[in-house]
Amino acid sequence: MHEKKSTVLIVEDDAQIRKMLTIVLDAADYKAVDSDCGKQGIRMAASIKPDLILLDLGLPDIDGKEVIASVREWSQTPIVILSVRSNDDEIVAALNLGADDYITKPFSTEVLLARLNANLRKAAVREAGEPELVNGPLRMDIVRHEIYLDGEKVAFTPKEYELLRYFIVNRGKMLTHKQILKEVWGGVYVENTQYLRVFIGQIREKLEKIPALESIIVTAPGIGYRMEVLE
């Protein structure tokens, strides 16, 4: 069984197109979630925090451009438009509101996947400064959501991946328990330090199989954790 890469939220009212997109994305190892209307799509974007949104403009409750404007108030998640609307005014309006790309229907699945990959890579570079993060023998492929230890791919759960990514992006910095819990789990978890300790233990167990990574995550009792910077 393949590990899924990024999560893609499909906001599309046509059930057949949603099903086709889900099949295409699943075959390419993306995790697809979907919504058939704009307001639900906005709520799902906030709760699921997908890596990319595929958005139709002709939705039954609100126009897709309203979805773009709403999501852009709090998120820079890549938004790729899939629409039958092909006139320049619609394309320009969607892009000016914050859409990252625009694909007109009907479309080639090969072109769609290429555009998704390109936008995910751009988002990874925007977030982390580069599509890969490296700290000694630890390497993270931000686009594919893969972790390599000394050149060997090692499986991490989605939450372990998010936690490790937060550490490597902030390597060398002391991070408090509350900082980590807020950024990785959300504000309602800021007091769950025991929860954090469990996940740190799971990550350490995997990292410590590589001698150079045995002490890469340092504990500051009562304060938090720091990831050492390795050559």
* Equal CATH topology for 7-128 and 132-227: no
Fold classification of 132-227 (topology level): Arc Repressor Mutant, subunit A (1.10.10)
List strand residue ranges (DSSP E) for the chain, in order: 7-11, 31-35, 52-55, 79-83, 101-104, 132-135, 138-141, 146-149, 152-154, 174-176, 217-220, 224-227
Q: How far apart are CA 175 and CA 198, in angstroms?
A: 17
Does the pLDDT of residue 125 top 80, yes or no? no
Does the pLDDT of residue 2 top 60, yes or no? no
Q: 218: how many CB neighbours lie within 10 A of its CB?
A: 11
The per-residue pLDDT for 60 is: 93
Does the pLDDT of residue 143 top 90, yes or no? no
Determine what percent of the chain is predicted with pLDDT higher than 70: 96
Which sequence spans correspond to the domains of the chain? 7-128, 132-227
pLDDT band, very low/low/confident/very high, at 218 (cuts 50, 70, 90): very high
The amino acid that residue 204 corresponds to is R
The per-residue pLDDT for 29 is: 87
The per-residue pLDDT for 37 is: 95
The per-residue pLDDT for 127 is: 65
145-163 pLDDT per residue, tens: 889 999 999 998 878 888 9
Q: What is the pTM of this model?
A: 0.62
User: Which one has a higher pLDDT value, 121 or 90?
Assistant: 90
Does the pLDDT of residue 4 top 70, yes or no? no
- Distance, CA of 51 to chain centre: 3
42-98 pLDDT per residue, tens: 999 988 889 999 999 999 999 999 999 999 988 888 999 999 988 888 888 999 999
Determine what percent of the chain is predicted with pLDDT higher than 90: 48
Contacts of 127 (CB under 8 A, 6+ apart): 142
Residue that is written with structure tokens 């979907």 in the block: 34
The per-residue pLDDT for 1 is: 43
Architecture of domain 7-128: 3-Layer(aba) Sandwich (3.40)
Does the pLDDT of residue 130 top 80, yes or no? no
The pLDDT of 168-186, averaged and rounded, is: 87
